[in-house]
């Protein structure tokens, strides 16, 4: 379980989406208020869901097909988060004071990259098992 590279990728996703949104700001309002993921309830729940889905996928190491599907659902959830952040960054008002976009908006991008890498490794393992079964 732990020795597989996809487990390492999913642990990275769980840590990145579980801890970093609470530390890194998402954006800064024009009045100077910094917005974190915990300030918006559904964003905090979505990040917790991403982290939880990654941990569930780690525990599904015996069933690679289910692990692959859970990672795909996790990618879709990250795409929704990324879409919201892109929408939010596009509607931030300009004017005399320019709002700052935070580095926390990139967390779903990193999660998606690591989930895609994990799915590639899962697919590679599945293909290896199928090729060994063919030889029997």
| pLDDT for the residue numbered 68 | 92
For residue 24 the two structure tokens come to 């890194």
For residue 106 the two structure tokens come to 């990139």
What would the pLDDT profile of 4-24 be if each residue is shown by its tens digit? 899 999 999 999 999 988 888
| pLDDT for the residue numbered 62 | 87
* Strand-pair category, 34-35 with 100-101: unpaired
What would the pLDDT profile of 74-127 be if each residue is shown by its tens digit? 999 999 999 998 888 887 666 555 567 778 888 999 999 999 999 999 999 888
Map residue 28 onto helix, strand or coil: strand
Measured CA to CA, the distance from residue 129 to residue 131 in angstroms comes to 5
Measured CA to CA, the distance from residue 8 to residue 14 in angstroms comes to 10
Map residue 1 onto helix, strand or coil: coil
């Amino acid at each position: 379980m732990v020795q597989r590279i996809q487990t390492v990728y999913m642990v990275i996703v769980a840590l990145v989406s579980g801890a970093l949104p609470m530390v890194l700001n998402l954006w800064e309002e024009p009045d100077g208020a910094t917005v974190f993921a915990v300030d918006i309830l559904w964003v905090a729940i979505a990040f917790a869901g991403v982290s939880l889905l990654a941990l569930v996928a780690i525990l599904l190491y015996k069933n690679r097909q289910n692990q692959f599907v859970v990672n795909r659902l996790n990618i879709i959830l990250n795409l929704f988060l990324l879409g919201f952040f892109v929408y939010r960054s596009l509607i931030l008002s300009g004017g005399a004071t320019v709002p700052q976009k935070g580095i926390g908006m990139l967390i779903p991008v990193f999660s998606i990259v690591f989930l895609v890498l994990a799915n590639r490794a899962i697919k590679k393992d599945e293909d290896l098992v199928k090729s060994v079964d063919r030889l029997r």
